[in-house]
Amino acid sequence: MIEFDHVTRTYGPKTAVADLTLAIPRGELFAMLGPNGAGKTTTIKMLVGLLRPSRGNVRVSGYDLVRDPRNAHLHIGYVPDEPCLYDKLTGREFLWFIADMFGMPRHLAGERIAAEIEHFELGEFADDLAESYSLGMKQRLVFASSLLHDPDVLVLDEPMVGLDPRSVRIVKDLLKARTREGMTVFMSTHTLAMAEEMADRVGIMVRGQLRFLGTVDELRDQMALETTSLEQLYLELTSPRAAETGLGSP
């Protein structure tokens, strides 16, 4: 479903992502972890077609994001870290706009919009202008819009920011259900507990390089530490000492 093939992205002299090769199959929930500036957001921007790789290719459902971005986008749902809405549209109008842009038939769009409004509990404010929404309300609406066209791949950049505990629960249940149905999820997060709870595999990026790729159990085995928490493993792997000793290198 998602393929990064020797992808490098540079910003001037700085290499944000270095030779990333990664394949995420259908139905997997993948969590990308890493400290600030590790290259997670750059990776996500390349995955949704906002950035072009300096070298290598990114493909979603077999479509190259540079050569055929429109077809690739038909398969992607994207929840950015900062939700973007039209202030002067209501939530329902925004959902219709997205459904129209994905070329959804009217009757199907109507059904899906109603279902997502109910699912994300948007009904109370769906007909208010988005300018009056809180961050959490905006985030829920963006989640709903990203799932309208039933994408094969859902890309989430810090998805839980601004969500209240009940909304977090809704999102977690939804991600579990959708991945069981075959949707692939690529998630960047700093919430280690969530990654530990939800992810089939995790990738840990440090300074543009994928320092670890595998399950949390594999990480424990590789690190050979007594601790069992992902938090402690993560801190060990991303510490300056780990870079010097090559700890965790794949």
Partner 1 sequence: MTAPAQSCRLLPYEAESRVFLRLRGRVAWATVRSMLSGARLRLSLVVLLSAMFWGSLYGLFFEAFTFLDSLHAEVISLLFNAFFSSLMVMLVFSTGILLYGGMYCSPEAKLLLTLPIREEAVFSHKFQEAVWFSSWGFILLGSPMLVAYGVVRDSPWTYFALLLPFMVSFVVIPATLGGIFCMLMVAWLPRLRLHAMTVACIAVAGGLIWMVWSTLSVSRADTMSAAWFEQTFSRLSITEQKLFPSWWLSSGLIEAARRDDGAAAVWPAFTEALKFLALLIANGMLLQLLAGWLAARCYRLGYSQLSGEVPARRRRRISWIDQALVNAGTAAGRPLRLLVVKDLRLFRRDISQWSQFVIFFGLLGLYFLNVRSFNYNNTYASMIGFLNLAVVGLILSTFTTRFVFPMISLEGRRFWILGLLPVHRDHIVWSKFLFSFVGGLLPCCGLVLLSDVMLGLSSRTILIHEIACLMLCLGLSGIAVGLGARMPDLREPSPSKIASGFGGTLSLVISSLFIMVIVVVAALPTHLFLVSHAFGAAGGPQRGALAWAAGPGGTIVSMALVVAIGLLATFVPLFLGLRSFRELEP
Sheet harboring 2-11: ordered strands across? 14-24, 2-11, 55-60, 63-64
What angle (nearest 5°) sits at the alpha carbon of residue 31, between those of residues 164 and 192?
A: 55
Asked if residue 97 binds partner 1 (CB under 8 A), the reply is: yes
Stretch that binds partner 1, among 32-40, 81-89, 173-181, 229-237 (CB under 8 A): 81-89
Structure token pair of residue 75: 């398969």
Asked if residue 100 binds partner 1 (CB under 8 A), the reply is: yes
To partner 1, the closest distance from the beta carbon of 87 in angstroms equals 9
To partner 1, the closest distance from the beta carbon of 176 in angstroms equals 20
Binding test (CB under 8 A) with partner 1, winner from 23, 25, 82, 197: 82
- Decide whether 34 or 49 has the Cβ nearer to partner 1: 49
* Contact in structure between 237 and 247 (CB atoms under 8 Å): yes
- Decide whether 9 or 40 has the Cβ nearer to partner 1: 9
What is the CA 104 to chain-centroid distance, rounded? 23
Asked if residue 172 binds partner 1 (CB under 8 A), the reply is: no
Asked if residue 61 binds partner 1 (CB under 8 A), the reply is: yes
Length of the chain, please? 250
What angle (nearest 5°) sits at the alpha carbon of residue 61, between those of residues 58 and 66?
A: 35
To partner 1, the closest distance from the beta carbon of 70 in angstroms equals 5
Place of tokens 């870079």: 243
Asked if residue 95 binds partner 1 (CB under 8 A), the reply is: no
3-state secondary structure of 23: strand
Stretch that binds partner 1, among 64-72, 162-170, 213-221, 235-243 (CB under 8 A): 64-72
- Decide whether 97 or 191 has the Cβ nearer to partner 1: 97
Q: How far is CA 109 from CA 6, 31, 120, 149, in A?
A: 38, 30, 16, 8
Place of tokens 């950049």: 157
Structure token pair of residue 10: 């540079």
Catalog residues that contact partner 1 under the rule CB under 8 A: 1, 9-12, 14, 45, 48-52, 61-63, 69-71, 73-76, 78, 80, 82, 84, 86, 88-89, 93, 97-98, 100-105, 108, 112, 129, 149-152
